[in-house]
Amino acid sequence: MPDSLAAAREEVAVANRILANEGLLDAFGHVSMRHPGDPGRFLISRHRAPELVQAADIVELDLAGEPAVPTPFRLYGERIIHAAIYAARADVMAICHHHAPSVLAYAIARAELVPVYHLGALMGPKVPYWDSRDEFGDTALVVVTPEEGASLAKALGPYWMILMGRHGATVAGASLREMLREMVFRTIFSARNAELQTQARLLGAVNRLSPAEAVKAAAHNLRPAPMERAWDYWVMRLAKKEGRGAAAKAKRPAKRRA
């Protein structure tokens, strides 16, 4: 868990930019984290493209999706996705809502998304499907009312990822220690799993993990060491993208020759 609110804000900002850099978020989508000191609040960026998010953009909202601390910033309309899931699930510590094309294809086709390789097991035993049309008729396909948020949270149930009909997906993470890292790990590798599942289908067959394989693979990859290894890699890639890699290298002291 981050040691301070300032560190938490920085991690939320970095997670936004990592997921943008890895192609999961573009101008749209958003990341949040439950407040490290108050479970009745969460941290999320102001209304801004994820690739641009900085720590100063992070605001505190309550579980109704309203500012817990006064802010002059415009807020995401779909902040209710995060508010409703945090309100319904005390074990959820971080959330990402995205429209990654590899996953969106399954949300359009209403096709079952299943783990097909070891890192895909992070999706969990089931990826439920929610369609706003089933309960609310024809809408703009965005989740902006408390009723829509509550319906989505109910459909997510005890699982960690949900497909949203013709819209995208929402992914959650639970780890108290790792907070955002578990959610980022799950978001990235579930999208890659979707790509591989589609490719396997085109080749002729989808050979999914058995239930026991999925449980064992998920437990193995949710250990701190794999998540830290992946997080360090994504942070390095982000630093290179943002031009910070060369500067960081230049600040390192030169190694002495033996």
pLDDT tens by residue, 5-58: 999 999 999 999 999 999 999 999 999 999 999 999 999 999 999 999 999 999
pLDDT tens by residue, 134-186: 999 999 999 999 999 999 999 999 999 999 999 999 999 997 667 799 999 99
pLDDT at position 256 over 60: no
Considering the entire predicted model, what is its pTM? 0.92
pLDDT at position 249 over 60: no
Residue range(s) defining the domain that contains residue 47 = 5-238
Number of folded domains that form the chain: 1
| 9 lies in some domain | yes
Gap between the Cα atoms of 100 and 143, Å rounded: 17
Closest CA relative to residue 110, chosen from 44, 163, 171: 163
What pLDDT does 178 receive? Answer: 73
pLDDT at position 247 over 60: no
Closest CA relative to residue 168, chosen from 72, 249, 229, 100: 100
Mean pLDDT estimate for the chain: 93
| 205 lies in some domain | yes
With a CB cutoff of 8 Å and minimum separation 6, the contacts of 109 are none
* Residues designated catalytic: 78
What pLDDT does 250 receive? Answer: 35
pLDDT tens by residue, 95-138: 999 999 999 999 999 999 999 999 999 999 999 999 999 999 99
The CATH number of residue 162's host domain is 3.40.225.10
Report phi then psi at 137, rounded to 5.
70, -155
The fraction of the chain above a pLDDT of 70, given in percent, is: 93
| 254 lies in some domain | no
| 169 lies in some domain | yes
Cα torsion angle, 174, 178, 182, 183, sign: positive
pLDDT tens by residue, 186-241: 999 999 999 999 999 999 999 999 999 999 999 999 999 999 999 999 999 999 99
> Pairing state of beta strands 129-130 and 161-164?
parallel
| 249 lies in some domain | no
| 257 lies in some domain | no
What pLDDT does 175 receive? Answer: 78
With a CB cutoff of 8 Å and minimum separation 6, the contacts of 78 are 30, 97, 142, 143, 144
| 258 lies in some domain | no
What pLDDT does 177 receive? Answer: 63
Radius of gyration of the chain (CA): 18
| 29 lies in some domain | yes
Strand, helix or coil for residue 130: strand
What pLDDT does 3 receive? Answer: 58
